[in-house]
Each structure stands twice: as C-alpha cells, then as structure tokens.
Amino acid sequence: MANTSKIILCPPEHRREALLHLAESQSSSGQKALTEALKPMLKEPETAWQSLWVSLHSGHINGVIWVQRLPQNMAQLWLPNAQGDHISALIDTARHWVMQQRLSLCHIELVPEATHQRAQLLAHGMQPLISLRCLKAGVEQRFPTRKPFTQLHWTPWDLLSPAQEHALITAVGRDSLDCRGLRDILSVNDLLAGFYGQDPHAPTHWHALYVDESPSPIGALLLAPRNEIHRWELMLMGLVPEWRRRGLGGHILNHALALSQQAGASELLLSVDHENPPAFNLYRRAGFTEYAQQSVMAWRG
C-alpha cells in the first residue's frame, strides 16, 4: 500500500502533541536531554520553530523530527526511535533544511543499540564523527600522584582575556587525540561556544592552570554542575603540548574531583574518545568506570 503520510512544518496548535510524541520515542536519558533542550525555546519567537516537522497520516501525527539550532551555526538533530517510509521522509526534510541554512554542523548522539537509526542516517548522508566512552567516578577518588616538580596555580577562567582564552583552547587541542574529527570541522570559536552552551553558569567553574616559570596558562579545566542529578561533568581538561607527559594530568584530574566533592556532587562524569587510550588509561587509574558508550554522527553543511 502506498504511503499516504504528509510532511509539514508543525502547526503551533499541534506543537505540544508533537513534542510529547518525540519525547516518548526517546530513551530515559534522551528524554531528560530533550527536556533541557526545550527549556530555552519557551522564550523564543515563533520563527524559532521553523525546524520542527511532523508526519501526518489520516490527519494524525505519526512521526516528528526537530533540528535544534545551537550557537555558532551548529545544530542537533532529534530523531524518533521508529522506522518506516515516513521517518525516512522526515530525515530527508531535515537534511535539506540543514543544507539550505548552510549550517556548519548538525549532529546527533546515538547509543550503540540504535542500529536502525544509524542505518537510516547513513542512508541520508550523515557520517560517523566520533565514538565516546562515558565514564564516572565517585568524587572521593584520587589519582595517585607525586608531588609536582613545580608550583601549580589555578586561576578563574574569567580573568583570561578573550585572546588568552582563544590561545589556550587552541594550544590544548593541538595534537590532542580527543575528538579529532570534531576539531577538524569546527573552529576554536565554535568549540568555545559549544562549551558555553553546555553550561548556563559558564565560566564560573572553569579554571586555567599556571606554573611559576610560565607567564601564560599551561592547562585548562572546564567543569559543569549537573545539579539535577547531583553530579558534575568534566567537559574539558588538557595541557599545552610542551607541558604534557610530565605527570601533571593526574593533578588536574584530582583538582576536578576535589572541586566536585566540595560542591556536594556524588560523582564526576566525563566522556573520552575511543581513539584516546592514554586519557582512558589515566581515568581508569583514577578509579573511573565505563557506564555507557555513545557515537556522534553529523551532517556537514
């Protein structure tokens, strides 16, 4: 039988129904993430909803897809966990819109079990970008370290000038094994905007690392409270190339754990690229355990 579903921009009067339909098809963690993504949309004008589409069959919604606009010309795709010709048509609609808008990147995060979603997206030109291990540790854990050979100083991030901030993120990312596919696509400004977008309190819990003999910061630590789940997230930690392999990574990690513990968090969460075994081994020696895996796919506009 021919597919009679019709793809249209979601009418305002059906938006609540559409979003509930989209949420119901997400995992429990996906539902929480979608709820957080929708909170800022309550203050947005109607024009901000020009990337929410529904599939109608006999006048009833049977599929929904949403391209969530993000800072710096980026976006995230919210896809229903379903199959069928109408889902394929929704994905095709979203992809054409992303290309028309000339977005730098539109990504989606998938768990390993989402094999049919992965296949659907591959069929519509989306490419694998990075594969992540999701780790966690109790905040009382500490990495076994020796006394540093030099005096370390932590400085609040907001004391950096924009030029220093840009230079530090650039240097920390140079030759890093983490998320190389993403760094090849996005500029430093894009990456910074992404970090700021993940934490409404940023840069309150961000820090720059100095040593006595260096006038410029040699490391970065970007933390974000996730108070709704009594945890903190380590979004980024790293050293500039000339200060790596000197045993300082453990000190940065211990500082992140200590700050999380002082704030009353129960665990510290982080993600590490599958292609970064040295970082994974560092976290494992500090007592981190893997609780999930995640892959990121993207359309490059």
| Domains of the chain from N-terminus onward | 6-125 (3.40.630.30), 136-295 (3.40.630.30)
- The answer to whether 175 touches 222, Cβ cutoff 8 Å, is no
Q: Is the pTM of this model over 0.85?
A: no
pLDDT in tens, 186-203: 888 888 888 888 888 899
pLDDT in tens, 120-171: 999 999 999 999 999 999 999 998 888 877 789 999 999 999 999 999 999 9
pLDDT in tens, 85-95: 899 999 999 99
85-100 helix and 115-123 helix, angle to the nearest 10 degrees? 50
Helices and strands, number each (H, E), in the chain:
9, 12
Question: To 5 degrees, how large is the angle CA 211–CA 216–CA 217?
Answer: 65
